Structures are given as structure tokens and as C-alpha cells.
Structure 1
Amino acid sequence: MKIAVSGKGGVGKTTLSAFLVKWFASKGKEVLAIDADPDANLAQGLGLPNPTGITPISEMKELVAERTESVPGSYGGFFKLNPKVDDLPEKLAIRAGEHIRLMVMGGVKKGGSGCVCPESVLIKNLMQHLVLRRDDVVIMDMEAGIEHLGRGTSKGVDCLIIVVEPGRRSIETAGRIRALGKDLGLTRVCLVGNKTRGPRDREFLAGSLKDFRFLGFIPYDEELVEADLQGVFPETVKPETKAAFEEIAVGIAA
């Protein structure tokens, strides 16, 4: 199972990603949690101690230079476009719980159209390996632009989940993400509604995104907000919140 989770910043995609990681691990699956959002928060969402002490792979200058045969910190020039990456999960993944390992990709500097840098080449090759060659359940916490996914990689993604909240900007972002996914060849795109305060919010989202399939709706829960503030995994949530998460996970796995 290879799952990508995306959405506008602040909608709760990291919270959903963390829950899915924990849920699949609780079923005895080996899970590789991938933080592919430059604003890396998945380690915190999983409740790891000292998450800011984790160095993203894109910032490992010596590793990038070694694998791409480039000069650290340089721009332009020649470098390897198909670096060796198959050994990196075992070398770089951090143990984040029973059956869970975490890899933090980090951001890649963006340049003009067609800009390619050693960091982006290494990350994209690594993402392709994780999606197409690994037997683990892979849960990817993406940025809204799904920048780390390439056309070849997308063929191995079983589901792109877009998290939305009641609000026009979130809905507009969902449309843009789906368009990006379609350009990459992603065929199974689903939505999860988050921070819904009742039937009115659920009806608003469903009515505004009629041609999307919703996996479920997560109610607004102060326990989720508090867990985010404390930098811990939300172990205690309202029964209806837990039931909503369970419904979504079961729907993905079905």
C-alpha cells in the first residue's frame, strides 16, 4: 500500500498521516513514514522526541554529493541523474515505534522552469524507489504541490488523499492538487474532510466537491488541537473522532 496525503497547509494532513502510520502498524504491517513536506512536522505528529534534531536528507550535503557525483554547494555543472538509493532506507530511516520507521526528505530549492539540482534528483530517485520497489506500507505526508512525486513514481501510488477543511481556499487547493495528480497519472484521488463542526460543514464540503469521493469526515476535536500544540500523537480523542479515523483507514485499505 502506497498512500500520499496532501492538502493546504494547516488542514490536518500531518495528523491524518500520523494516524494512518499508527493504524497500519497496529495491524502488524511494516510502515515507512515519509515526511515529504518542506515544513517537516511528521516526526512531531508521531510523537518523536527532539524532532527538530532530525536532519532532512536534502540537507545532507556530503551524501547528496557522493550519490550524485556533484560538488557540495555548487550550482550547474554535471551530476549523476540515476544515483544509487536502494540502500538509503536501511541507512537513514529512523525507528519511530514498533513496525514504524521514518524518513524526512526536506525541501528542495526551486529555480526556473526545468530547473534540476542534485538534491531534487536524489530525492526523486529515492521516492521512486520507495514507491515502486519497497514492500512496506508507505505513507507520504506531502506538500500541497506534491513536488516530490514524478510521473513514473505516481504509477505506484495506490491513493492520493487530499485533506480539506470547511473553507473556500481549502476547496480551491484541493482542485489544484487533483489537477497536478491527474497530470502525473494518479487515478485514485479521494478526500477527507477535517475540522467539521456538524452536518452543515459536511454538507458544505460534499456540495462544493461533488465530483470527489470522500473517505470520511473528521469532527473538530480540541484534543487534536492540544496534541498538535504539545507536539505529541493524539492518543486520547473523542470516540466519534477515533471512529472517523478508523472509517477512513478501513476505506483506504479496502
Structure 2
Amino acid sequence: MKLAVSGKGGVGKTTFSAMLARAFAEKGLEVLAVDADPDANLGQALGFPDYQTITPVSEMKELIDERTESKNNNFGTYFKLNPNVSDLPEKLSVAHDGVRLMVMGTVKKGGGGCICPASTMLKVLMTHMVLTSQQVLILDMEAGLEHLGRGTSRGVDFLIVVVEPGRRSVDTAHTIKKLAADLGVQKILIVGNKIRGPQDEQYLRDALAGFEFLGFISHDQAIIEADMANKCPALFAKTAKEQVGRMADELLTRVAPKK
């Protein structure tokens, strides 16, 4: 199963990704969680010890130079557009409590359309994981879906958009849907987060009419307290954990095993 999770910053996208990864791991499944958000904090949400010391792939200059056959990772130089990355998901990911984590990082650049060894490496690596991984793959994306390409997106089973009750969050969901359509992604599911009651749930259903909802997560003070204590939310937020667990069960029923 390959899942991409997106949403406006601050809606709880990373917390949901972490809890979903934990839910699958507790079911005995192999899980690879990929932090593809420039504001990388999936390791913290998963409760990885020393998560601050994990080096993003985008900053591994020697590895990028070696695999792309580039010189000092400079712009405007010749380099391989199809570097070998088949061994990297295992080598570059770290494991904790049944979940493997890889931090992609981002390429700092001015302007758009960056074609450089680092950005090429990230895209090729992402494509490889989406199209060949035999694990449950959870991609914690930014709202712009920067790491997904047209070819890569065809391997994603679902794009899950996390929203909270609020106009800006809803507008971002509509924007993501348009970006996803340009990439050929059709299977989009909505997760409503920080739900305080029936009114919040109904607001999202009305504002996102035409979208399919995977489920809702209640506003849970334990999530906030876990974040303040630098702990994994899944270990403290019992209600949210149960709700995400039911979503994991639902996703497993939707994705038939390959025979």
C-alpha cells in the first residue's frame, strides 16, 4: 500500500501520518515512513530518539555526487538523470518500534524548475519507493506535492488530505485536488482533524462536498501535551489512536493484496 498525505501546514498532517504508520506497524505490517515535507518533523511525531541527528537525503552531498556522477553537486554540470537508488531505502532509513523512517529534505533554490543532481536524486528515489516498495509506504508530503511526479503518482493508492474546520484549510484541499488532477491522481480521501463536535464535521462535509471522507479525528488535548513533551502522540492520545486505527483498517479493506 502506498499513501501520500498532504494538507495545509498546522492541520495535523504529520501527526496523522505518524499515527497511521504506528497503526499499521502494530498490525504486524512492514512500514516505511518518508518525511517529504521541507519542515521535517515526522521523526519527532513518531517518537524516534535523536531524530534531530537524521541527515536528510538532500544534504548527503557525497552520495548524491557519487550516484549522479556529478561534480560537487553544482548547477549547470553534467550528471546522470537515472542514478541507481535501489539500495538506498534500506541503507538510508532508520528503524524504531516497527517503523522505518527516511527524511528526504528539500533543495534550497531561487526560482522554479530546478534540475540539479540533488533534486534529480530525490525524484528518482521517490519514484523507486512508490513503484517498487513491498512495504506499507506513507509519504508525509507538503501541500505543494513537490516530490511527486506524473509517473510517480500513478503508483500511489490514495492521496489523503488532512483538513481542519476552517476556510483556509478547505481552500488548500481544493488546491491540492487540482494539483493532484494534473498529476493523474484520482483517488483522494479527506481526513477531518481537530473535530470539536458534530458542527465541525458537518462544516467540512458541506465545504468539501464531492470529496470522499476516510474519517474524522476528535480534538484531543493529549496530542498537544504529547507534542509539548516531545513524545509520540500515538502513545498518549487514546481516542485519536483508536480513530486512526479504524482508518487503517478501512484502508486495508480498500487495497486488495496483489497475488
CA distance in 1 between counterparts of 2:5 and 2:230 reads: 20
Aligned to 1:95: 95
Distance in 1 (alpha carbons) for counterparts of 2:103 and 2:156: 18
1:165-244 to 2 correspondences below 5 Å:
165-234=164-233, 235-239=235-239, 241-244=240-243
Counterpart in the other structure of 2:56: 56
Contact 2:226 2:236 in 1 (8 A): no
Q: Tell me which residue corresponds to 1:44.
A: 44
Q: State the alpha-carbon separation in 1 of the partners of residues 25 and 245 from structure 2.
A: 13
4+ aligned runs moved over 6 Å, structure 1:
none
How far is the alpha carbon of 1:238 from its aligned partner? Answer: 4.3
Q: Structure 1 residue 20 and structure 2 residue 20: aligned?
A: yes
CA 74–242 in structure 1, closer or farther in 2 if over 3 Å, else same: closer
Give yes or no for the alignment of 1:148 onto 2:153.
Answer: no
For structure 1, the residue ranges without an aligned partner over 5 or more in a row are none
Two-structure CA RMSD over aligned residues (Å): 1.2
Instruction: Number of aligned residue pairs: give it.
Output: 252
The Cα offsets for residues 104-143 of structure 1, whole Å up to 9 and x where unpaired, read as: 0001224444321111100110011101011111011111
Change in Cα spacing, 1:73 to 1:125, as seen in structure 2 (3 Å) is closer
CA distance in 2, matches of 1:177, 1:229: 29
What is the percentage of aligned positions where both structures have the same residue? 58
Letter in 2 for 1:121: T
Is the partner of 1:49 in helix, strand or coil?
Answer: coil
Deviation at 1:45, TM superposition (A): 0.5
- Aligned to 1:139, the other structure's residue is in SS state strand
Task: State how far apart, in whole Å, the 2-side matches of 1:238 and 1:35 are.
Answer: 24
Asked if the contact 2:4/2:159 (under 8 Å) is kept, the reply is yes
**Which TM-score applies when normalising by structure 1?**
0.96
Question: Any gaps of 5 or more consecutive residues in structure 2?
Answer: 254-259
Deviation sequence 1:4-54 (CA, Å, 0-9, x none): 100011110111111111111111111111000011111001101121111
Alignment check: 8 A CA contact 2:190 2:212 kept: yes
TM-score (norm 2): 0.94
